[in-house]
Amino acid sequence: MSKRVPLTTWHLQRLFDVSAMTIYNWRQGTVTKTPLPCEVDASGHVHYRLAEVKVWARKNAVPLAADPGEVAEMAPRRRGPRRKVH
């Protein structure tokens, strides 16, 4: 059995079909939504737990656009160095 890694913002973008900025705003909370539960490690990386995210989505009436199990198994694409444009 593989070890479950926490979800990243990339995973949540696919789970809810929204932008990274929307996830950021949800983390702050709004008048109509409670703050999205997350964990920030010492290096500043943000992680989410699937169970907490599902409870938050149900509580705040945010529909899931993808199957949580499939999204959790997806590995985010790694970005290499950007090419310089002259």
Look up the pTM and report it: 0.77
pLDDT digits (tens, 9 = 90+) for 29-63: 988 899 999 999 898 889 999 999 999 999 999 99
What is the domain range of residue 48? Answer: 9-73
- Is 21 inside a domain boundary? yes
Q: How far is it, in rounded angstroms, from Cα 15 to Cα 79?
A: 20
pLDDT at residue 79 greater than cutoff 80: no
Q: How far is it, in rounded angstroms, from Cα 49 to Cα 62?
A: 16
- Is 82 inside a domain boundary? no
- Is 40 inside a domain boundary? yes
- Is 1 inside a domain boundary? no
DSSP letter string, 5-57:
PPB-HHHHHHHHT--HHHHHHHHH--SSSPPPP-EE-TT--EEB-HHHHHHHH
- Is 65 inside a domain boundary? yes
- Is 14 inside a domain boundary? yes
Residue with tokens 């702050």, as numbered in its chain: 28
The total number of structural domains in the chain stands at 1
The least confident of 4-18, 32-46, 70-84 is 70-84
